[in-house]
Amino acid sequence: MKAKYYYLEDKEIGKIKIVPKNGLKNFNIRLKPFDIVTISSPASASQKQIARVIERKKKWILEKQAYNKSIEQKRTVFEHQTTIETFFNQFTIQQNDTDRLRLMGKKPEYVIAVPQKIDIKNPAFQQGIKNIIDFVLEDEASKYLPKRTQELAKQFKFRYNNLSFRNNKTRWGSCSTKGNISLNIQLMRLPTRMIDYVIIHELCHTIHPNHGSGFKKLLYSIMPEAPHIEKEMKNYRTQIY
């Protein structure tokens, strides 16, 4: 049976996965963080043709690899014995005899069990670990954030319509013109002062929908330490654990 793919090695690029496909007329090059270069080629393409494509696209591939490397250095890579702390819980990643990813233990100390024989840096397993953590973060958010939002709204005399939760890739929170507040479940990985800052920030938007002088005056009157917290939060990212 003919192999569905094979590998080539380039001195500058490294390992390249070649995937011949029936019906494909052009070459398709894919580069993703935490993965090798993959080239889908017409099934009839020879290795000489593939080599010419690689050479022609080499500059672009190397530039893309450098960019992906910068992303890889920023993103969290979950490894054996990695520990992640959330507002209520702690996760430790351990490789053992399990046959699949499992969430073990109980609050507040969880173990994410990973099969010993797999490459833990494989993107699929990295995403699987993240999904497990996010599942618990969503539970934490649903139990803590509604109560805390109500407390702060009552304390500072704000009124909002609805509160919802998302796992947004960029924003910690948002507020619609109708007073609907959305908070990111990733807030549950932040210190209390930052959670409060985001909630109050969105509550202020129920009065001032933009970030103009009126908004800042209101926010800073409630939280004089807000400018300092804003600088601190530049060191945190929703998708970097």
Residue with tokens 């970097």: 240
Report d(CA 68, CA 83) in Å as an integer. 24
Q: What is the pTM of this model?
A: 0.69
Show the CA angle centred on residue 91, arms to residues 89 and 94, nearest 5°: 160
pLDDT reported for residue 3: 60
The candidate with the shortest Cα–Cα distance to 193, out of 240, 228, 235, is: 228
Domains and CATH numbers, the chain: 6-74 (no CATH), 83-233 (3.30.2010.10)
pLDDT digits (tens, 9 = 90+) for 77-115: 898 899 999 999 999 999 888 889 999 998 899 999 999
pLDDT digits (tens, 9 = 90+) for 199-222: 999 999 999 999 999 999 999 999
CB atoms within 10 A of CB 48: 8
Q: Contact, 201 vs 181, CB < 8 A?
A: no
pLDDT reported for residue 32: 81
**Percent of all residues in the chain with a pLDDT value above 90, rounded to a whole number:** 75
- The residue length of the chain stands at 241
Residue with tokens 């060191």: 235
- Which DSSP letter does residue 10 get? E
pLDDT reported for residue 6: 94
Which tokens is 18 given?
């070649």
Residue with tokens 């139990």: 143
pLDDT digits (tens, 9 = 90+) for 120-171: 888 888 999 999 999 999 999 999 999 999 999 999 999 999 999 999 877 8
Give start and end residues of each alpha helix (H) in the chain.
Answer: 47-74, 123-155, 192-205, 213-222, 226-233
Helix (H) or strand (E) holding 92: strand 90-96
pLDDT reported for residue 118: 85
Report d(CA 190, CA 195) in Å as an integer. 6
Which tokens is 22 given?
């029936």
Report d(CA 63, CA 70) in Å as an integer. 11
Write the CA distances from 80 to 50, 83, 85, 111, integer angstroms. 38, 9, 15, 11
Show the CA angle centred on residue 184, arms to residues 68 and 170, nearest 5°: 30
pLDDT reported for residue 103: 93
Helix 123-155 × helix 192-205 angle, to 10°: 60
pLDDT range class, residue 2, cuts 50, 70, 90: low
108: left (phi over 0), alpha (psi -120 to 50) or beta: alpha
Laid out side by side, the sheet with 163-166 consists of 163-166, 181-184, 173-175
pLDDT range class, residue 1, cuts 50, 70, 90: very low
Question: What type of residue is 156?
Answer: F
